Structure 1
Amino acid sequence: MKKRSILRRISALLLSTTMLFSIMGCKNSNLETTQLSFKPGTYEASSKAHNGDLKVQVEVDDTSIKSVTVIEHGETPNVSDAALEKVPAAIVTTQSVAVDIVSGATYTSNAIIEATKIALQEAGGNLELLNVKKEQTEKVEDIEKTADVIVVGAGGAGLAAAVSASQNGASVIVIEKMPSVGGNTIISGSGYNAVDPKRQEPLGIEDSIELHYTQTYEGGDKLGNPDLIRTLVENAYPALEWLESLGMEYTDNLITVLGGLFPRGHKPVKPLGTGYVDAYMNYINSNDVEVMVETKAEELIIEDGIVTGVIALGANGNKVTLNANNGVILTTGGFGANVEMRQEYNKKWPTLDETIKTTNAPGATGDGLIMAEAVNANLVGMNEIQLLPMGDPNTGSLSGKVGVGVASNVFINKEGNRFVAEDERRDVMTMALYEQTDKWLWEVIDSDTYPTPESKNNFNQTITELVEQGIVIKADSLEELAEKLDLPYENLKASLDKYNEAVDNQGGDEFGRKILEQKIDTAPFYAGARSITVHHTMGGLEINTSAEVINKDSEIIEGLFAAGEVTGGVHGSNRLGGNALADITVFGKIAGENAAKNKLK
């Protein structure tokens, strides 16, 4: 009797559960088929994006979303362009706010979606109904194309290679897995190291190619390939002139990039790395160079030991086969955004797990390394992974950085003390930061860096914007700064007094700092929080000075070239700040020229 009663209860429970799921299923089904309803008109709403508020204008009729337009924003050109175009279009096409974000532009994508939700709610829209995801099922055919040179990756190295190959008479196709071009270059600090007497001598700076070579070689603990380093430093300025011939503009003021060791950093007129990308794309758009975004390379085509093309995946899952008459250039970047790969190769740092953010674009996942290793390419220096002490504590990004050069800042820990020379090598500064409370520092500067409210950092952000967004703390006295940062005032004052005394004496800094150009003693004071972030992976494909890829038997892989962060051997154990832009330009240009002249058998 008792057993039968239990069975009845189980049966009743199962029946009620089945009814519940049935009701829920009906509810979802009803949501999917219920027609949208709005109060016709045009509505505007705003949401917080990466660089401040973003405003949309949404037009609706009785039953549909007619248009979504971003009418105001402060997002970075090129970086956010794909999101600004694709997200509003997807909302209108699917009649839903449950649309995919654009990789590499997460903040912009989410801001568009959130602002659109607010506007649609004001129009009387049912948010539950609008949140039903609707797939776009457009069928796309497989593609096969042929060009002289196929470039894989549309960051700075890839675009340099594409332009160079084109200028040397080759037909070129560039593929990029992300929705827009630019890679790490477009979000970089953008300083470009080159010995440049024309700009340096008027500033009283004595420099030489030999000094640049020595600092690069010794700064990488003599682990870099001397021939590659020599190629880099000797061609850095000619490559800069080549960039200028494409329309790239630099100021005449040279800086010492963080970890750059010397004032040979050329600062672009345009913010971030947008000037580089604009210069390349202006050429590409005016010439017969094809760029295919949202096209992910998956494997190299190899015939009789010769690389003859690439097989890729298109945006809609279609197969893309690209045949090369002359060669393939890999410019896919490093693996700074691949946590698993970072952990696999890390031999130096306490941890590089997901708690350590990265400055890298999300596309830096080591794809090119994996593809090339599958055709027997040799990898060198993979354990050499560079970190910076300059990442946003929440995102790892370099944006929001309050300092604009090594000469103008000091690093203060949570106890109010300096702890390292701010002009040291990047690995030295970062290892020192690992030992500080919460791996946290305050970058402190004064009003000499920002003489007006509209003065900007290297990321085109004004000091007013940085303060309003809470990224930077402003104080009208040192006491107020200590209070706002929750630091012992006595320690902060003593730290700055000692530093300022070293500037006055032009020596004697307690941490051995050599760049002692600017005191920090004039209110208002500013401070920005910074932490450890993965910045550059120095290891990668072994190449020669012609940018040809070398296999595990020390032989050239016919038809395969590489440039930029996908390669190894240029920087040794530590990359000097400002050398990356020179590296990708010099070797991108070399790879493009040599691939254009190469004829496959």
Structure 2
Amino acid sequence: MSNFVFKTNSINNLESYYDAIVIGSGGAGLSAAIQAHELGLKVAILEKNNKLGGNTARASSGMNAAETNIQYQQGIIDSMTKFYQETLQGGGQLNDPDMLHFFVEHAPLAIAWLKDHNILLNELTITGGMTIKRTHRPASKEPIGNFLITNLLKEITKQHISVFNNAKVVELIHKDQDFAIKLENGQLISAKVVILATGGFGASKEIIKKYRPDLLSYKTTNQDGTTGDGLKLATKIGAQLIQMNFIQVHPTAQTDNKHTYLIGEAVRGEGAILINQAAARFVNELDTRKIVANAITNLHEDGAWLILDQEIRNHVKALEFYDAVGLVKTGQTISELANAISISPQALIKTIQRWNQAIAQNNDVDYHRTTGLERPIATAPYFAIHVHPAIHYTMGGIHIDQHARVLDISGNIIKGFYAAGEVTGGLHGNNRIGGNSITETIVFGREAAIQAAKYILSK
């Protein structure tokens, strides 16, 4: 991926009219634009930031889907029903059932659609709240986010779709079933439809204070531009917001430095454990994010430590990045690692021996962990990463139906207005399962474009 450089367009080259304007350049926006273009629409992407990719570019674990050919090729027999039930349970049974059914049923189609565009996710891992390996990622095991954005942008280039960065939309004007899109510099663009894919509000202290003041002191894994702009644009033309108090705190973020880094769930999915200052495990590391984050907070200590070895590291390429930016402590022996993180060597040795025994017996009698049991912590060198919970994802947002159509405060469809990705609410309930957000961006990004094309053709 390393040598690919995407060239954006200057906003001075914006035309006055498009069939569809996509606002946002993360996974939802890029997939929506590609699908819209392939359905014959004249489309442009507007991105307020200089850098493209949004929060998607930071994703690390993978993309969930059930009953895929990749699973079958690896001897994994999954079911959409099980995927649905585990996501529903993980979300506190507060997920919109119609959206969730659509999401689960279209997830394998999204994997296939990416493959059709030479974006191959043919390796599997597992995330918290899941009992089966259904988290698809590249064979290279590199973080999914950068891989996905880079390859979607390659497709955008191939199809000559216009992308404009530094193009902040400040107002949507909905009139006579068409839209006028006003930019910060005063430019006005007309479009038959608008697809909002602007991401959540995890970096907005203003919105977090309004809905979850108890989280104001938490750091965030979100990129700085994740400030809820799309919510403001949508509500000004009558869109309804739902479940805005549902904000996910990710259990494993490295917050000790100026920048906060998400330590992806795949680290635990491939076998890492969490320990406290006494070098003891204290939770099923692959329970839902909400439960694991609360367990770390309830230690009332300075976070926790992720512990892993070289074999686990070999299965999570993101560890190379974490190490390169100074987040990883190393020891050639377990005792050396314990000394490096100022905990008892004897206690850490005992904890790892007990964990390895659980692996050998395939039975975690202490915390009943049933996934991420493929490999013991037994291959030198050994590694530790200091982690704290941090604001990661906002489950609430614009109310859409299962076809990505934006609803007004009375529950009616706002014609020609679509939204996809983290800017929307309803899919995840009160807790998002790791690996579901990437699936959401592709499934509902595509659906927004499909419905937009259908709407335009019906006019």
Shift of 1:220: 0.6
Which structure is richer in relative contact order (CA contacts within 8 A, separation 6 or more)?
2
Quick check: 1:444–1:526 contact (8 Å CA) kept in 2? yes
Residues 402/481 of structure 1: CA separation in 2 closer, same or farther (3 Å cut): farther
Equivalent AA in structure 1 for residue 126 of structure 2? T
2:433 alignment counterpart: 576
Post-superposition CA distance 1:13-43 (Å, at most 9, x none): xxxxxxxxxxxxxxxxxxxxxxxxxxxxxxx
Matched, 1:559 2:416: yes
Mapped partners of 1:556, 1:192: distance in 2: 29
Equivalent AA in structure 2 for residue 501 of structure 1? Q
Q: Out of 281, 286, 303, which is 2:153 matched to? A: 281
Post-superposition CA distance 1:427-463 (Å, at most 9, x none): 000011111244411110122224xxxx57343x53x
The gaps in structure 1 that reach 5 residues or longer are 1-74, 86-139
Residues 577/468 of structure 1: CA separation in 2 closer, same or farther (3 Å cut): closer
| 1:482-521 mapped onto 2 (5 Å cutoff) | 482-515=338-371, 516-521=373-378
What's the secondary structure of 1:299's corresponding residue?
strand
Q: Out of 70, 79, 94, which is 1:199 matched to? A: 70
1:242 alignment counterpart: 113
Equivalent AA in structure 2 for residue 497 of structure 1? Q
Matched, 1:254 2:154: no
What's the secondary structure of 1:164's corresponding residue?
helix
Residues 266/222 of structure 1: CA separation in 2 closer, same or farther (3 Å cut): same
Mapped partners of 2:247, 2:120: distance in 1: 31
Mapped partners of 1:261, 1:371: distance in 2: 39
Larger Rg: 1
Equivalent AA in structure 2 for residue 280 of structure 1? L
Q: So what's the TM-score if we normalise by structure 1?
A: 0.71
Q: Out of 178, 195, 200, which is 1:329 matched to? A: 195
Residues 300/276 of structure 1: CA separation in 2 closer, same or farther (3 Å cut): same
Post-superposition CA distance 1:572-593 (Å, at most 9, x none): 0111111111111000000011
1:410 alignment counterpart: 273
What's the secondary structure of 2:202's corresponding residue?
coil
What's the secondary structure of 1:448's corresponding residue?
helix
Residues 567/467 of structure 1: CA separation in 2 closer, same or farther (3 Å cut): closer
Q: Out of 264, 271, 274, which is 2:134 matched to? A: 264
Equivalent AA in structure 2 for residue 398 of structure 1? L
What's the secondary structure of 2:312's corresponding residue?
coil
Shift of 1:219: 1.2
Equivalent AA in structure 1 for residue 124 of structure 2? L
Matched, 1:596 2:458: no
1:343 alignment counterpart: 209
Residues 598/210 of structure 1: CA separation in 2 closer, same or farther (3 Å cut): same
Residues 249/486 of structure 1: CA separation in 2 closer, same or farther (3 Å cut): same
1:585 alignment counterpart: 442
Residues 443/591 of structure 1: CA separation in 2 closer, same or farther (3 Å cut): same
Post-superposition CA distance 1:257-307 (Å, at most 9, x none): 245443101112463323322332222223342111001111111115x45
Residues 397/323 of structure 1: CA separation in 2 closer, same or farther (3 Å cut): same
Shift of 1:466: 5.1
Mapped partners of 2:170, 2:47: distance in 1: 12
Equivalent AA in structure 2 for residue 262 of structure 1? I
Quick check: 2:359–2:375 contact (8 Å CA) kept in 1? yes
Mapped partners of 1:489, 1:213: distance in 2: 43
1:150 alignment counterpart: 21
Post-superposition CA distance 1:107-127 (Å, at most 9, x none): xxxxxxxxxxxxxxxxxxxxx
What's the secondary structure of 1:431's corresponding residue?
helix
Quick check: 2:253–2:261 contact (8 Å CA) kept in 1? yes
Mapped partners of 1:534, 1:182: distance in 2: 19
Q: Out of 100, 103, 109, which is 1:229 matched to? A: 100
Q: Out of 329, 332, 342, which is 1:476 matched to? A: 332
1:319 alignment counterpart: 186
Residues 391/259 of structure 1: CA separation in 2 closer, same or farther (3 Å cut): farther
1:290 alignment counterpart: 162
Mapped partners of 2:34, 2:261: distance in 1: 29
Matched, 1:375 2:237: yes
Residues 77/574 of structure 1: CA separation in 2 closer, same or farther (3 Å cut): farther
Q: Out of 238, 253, 261, which is 1:391 matched to? A: 253
Residues 190/595 of structure 1: CA separation in 2 closer, same or farther (3 Å cut): farther
Bigger mean CA deviation after superposition, 357-366 or 500-509: 500-509
Residues 77/195 of structure 1: CA separation in 2 closer, same or farther (3 Å cut): farther
What's the secondary structure of 1:536's corresponding residue?
strand
Residues 538/458 of structure 1: CA separation in 2 closer, same or farther (3 Å cut): farther
Mapped partners of 1:435, 1:193: distance in 2: 29
Equivalent AA in structure 2 for residue 441 of structure 1? A
Shift of 1:205: 2.4
Q: Out of 438, 457, 460, which is 2:316 matched to? A: 457
1:540 alignment counterpart: 397
1:94 alignment counterpart: none
Quick check: 1:389–1:429 contact (8 Å CA) kept in 2? yes
2:225 alignment counterpart: 363
Shift of 1:523: 2.5
Bigger mean CA deviation after superposition, 440-449 or 174-183: 440-449
Mapped partners of 1:211, 1:467: distance in 2: 36
Percent same amino acid at aligned positions? 33
Mapped partners of 2:22, 2:407: distance in 1: 18
Q: Out of 241, 264, 282, which is 1:419 matched to? A: 282
2:292 alignment counterpart: 429
Alignment RMSD (CA, Å): 2.5
Quick check: 1:191–1:266 contact (8 Å CA) kept in 2? yes
Mapped partners of 1:170, 1:81: distance in 2: 22
Quick check: 1:402–1:443 contact (8 Å CA) kept in 2? no
Aligned residues: 451
Quick check: 1:172–1:288 contact (8 Å CA) kept in 2? no
Residues 77/555 of structure 1: CA separation in 2 closer, same or farther (3 Å cut): farther
The gaps in structure 2 that reach 5 residues or longer are none
Mapped partners of 1:517, 1:457: distance in 2: 14
Post-superposition CA distance 1:524-576 (Å, at most 9, x none): 21111111111110001111122100001110011110000001011101111
